[in-house]
Every structure is written in structure tokens, then in C-alpha cells.
Amino acid sequence: MLGIDLEKADDGFSSDLHLIAGNISRALSQLVLRTDVSGMPLEWIDYKEAARLYHQEQVAYTCGSPLFKLYGGVSARTGFRTVLEVNSIVATVGHTGNPGNTRHDYVPPLNNQTLFRRDAHFCLYCAQRFPVRELSRDHIRPFSQGGRDVWTNVVAACRRCNNLKASRTPEQAKMQLIAVPFTPTYAEYIFLKGRRVLADQMEYLRAHFPRHSPLHARIKRYLS
Ligand SMILES: [Zn+2]
């Protein structure tokens, strides 16, 4: 767990940060999973936003493990310094703002970062793994043949495979997909959006995935 002095953190925090070792800045960037009061995952927040929610008494309960210990000012009433422990998962009261909660037909926005994560950075044609910069968004049924820019019609593809396939369907190009593209649910989307998702956050999100989610197997492999 990381201890942070909130009084220092509020003023000139970023300039102080450069003087501190890199692993502390990495620890500070660890995001907290925010859920609504019923436990539905909502979003990723940083430690400052988490501290604000605690301060405004919007945190109903916490799950996961303690991440940060935040030190505030000295209370005039008690004479003690306030200490706040922030957990990896916080459930909050009030307006949820979770579109996945209210709309069953919710479709998360499509972008390359989450698309490549959905496909675990594999090219879904040659089944090899690539860094982000070498991947591209392939339209399974190309635009020229009426294909649309939707989750179920796009896959991660390496540049070589994308060029090879060109403006053809996989059948026309005699290429085979190694997995079926799917539209992530809200919980799956939150998982895919996460940078450095902690094991307890992973387990928590996984409990909200549909039973058939291909991400179950991936998380299981990761945690084993
Ligand atoms: Zn490829």
C-alpha cells in the first residue's frame, strides 16, 4: 500500500512527483474501480477522485484490497491527522450514470485500443501477437461490400494480413478467423478499458460478465 500526503499532493504535487522514484508514480497511477451501490461496475477513477468521493461521503462500502493511505490535515476538533484508506474497489451512492445499467441494448463505443484488447493483441487471421502499432482494424465484410463499422464486423489484424485480405471477405480471400468477434457488455468494456487491472478488480468484473464471455478463459489463464 502507498502512503500519500494529501496536503502536499494538492499543491505543487506534479513538480514533487518528478523527484520521486518512478515506481511511486506508477503506483499512483493505479486506478480504482468505482461501482454503484448495487455493485454494478461504473468506471475507473484515480486516487484523487476516490478521495473526493470519500470526502463527500459518497462511498457506501469497499471491496478488494487497500491501495492507498491518504494523509489529510489535522482535525481542529480531535487534534488528530485524518487518514483515509482507499481500496481497489469502491461502491458509491447517488446517480450511477452507467448506461449499461439502464439499457440492455447498450453498445460501447468502438475504438482501436479496446478492440485490440478484446482480441488480446492477436491478429485474428494469422494468430500471432503484435504490439499495438503493428495492428489495424479490419472490417470482416469490407465497406465496399456493405460491411459496417460495428464490433461484430471488426477484428484486430496485422498489417500484412490486412493488406493480403484487401477489400474481400475472409471467404473470398481464403482466410480464416481464429475467433468470433463480439460486442462487449458494459462490464466487459470496463475491463477492456482498464490499464493494469489488479487481480481482485479482475475477479470482480469477471463476476459481471455474461456466462458465455470469451474473456472468462483469458482472465482464468492470467490468474492461474
Ligand atoms: Zn496477421
Q: How far is the CA of 138 from the centre of ligand 1 (A)?
A: 10
41-50 tens-digit pLDDT: 999 999 999 9
How far, in Å, is the centroid of ligand 1 from the Cα of 174?
13
Confidence band of 13 (pLDDT split at 50, 70, 90): very low
Sheet holding 32-36, edge to edge: 2-5, 59-74, 81-92, 32-36, 41-45
CA of 185 to the centre of ligand 1 (A): 26
* 112 C-alpha to ligand 1 centroid (Å): 16
The three cell numbers of residue 175 are: 482466410
**Rounded to an integer, what is the distance from CA 145 to the centroid of its chain?**
33
Ligand 1 center from residue 156 Cα (angstroms): 9
- Of all residues in the chain, the percent with pLDDT exceeding 70 is 85
Ligand 1 center to 117 CA (angstroms)? 16
At 118-177, the pLDDT tens digits run 999 999 999 999 999 999 999 999 999 999 999 999 999 999 999 999 999 999 999 999
Instruction: Give me ligand 1 centre to Cα 170, in Å.
Output: 12
CA 129 to centroid of ligand 1, rounded, Å: 8
What mean pLDDT comes out for the span 184-208? 94
Cα(176) to ligand 1 centroid in Å equals 11
Backbone angles phi, psi at 215, to 5 degrees: -75, -20
Partners of residue 154 on adjacent β-strands: 139
pLDDT given at position 102 = 57
CA of 130 to the centre of ligand 1 (A): 9
The C-alpha torsion from 44 through 46 and 50 to 53, rounded to 10°, is -80
The x, y and z cell numbers of residue 213, run together, are 464471455
**Letter for the amino acid at 139?**
H
pLDDT of residue 46: 94
Average pLDDT estimate for 186-200 = 93
Give the pLDDT confidence score for residue 19 in this predicted structure. Answer: 34
Cα 208–118–112 angle (5° rounding)? Answer: 125
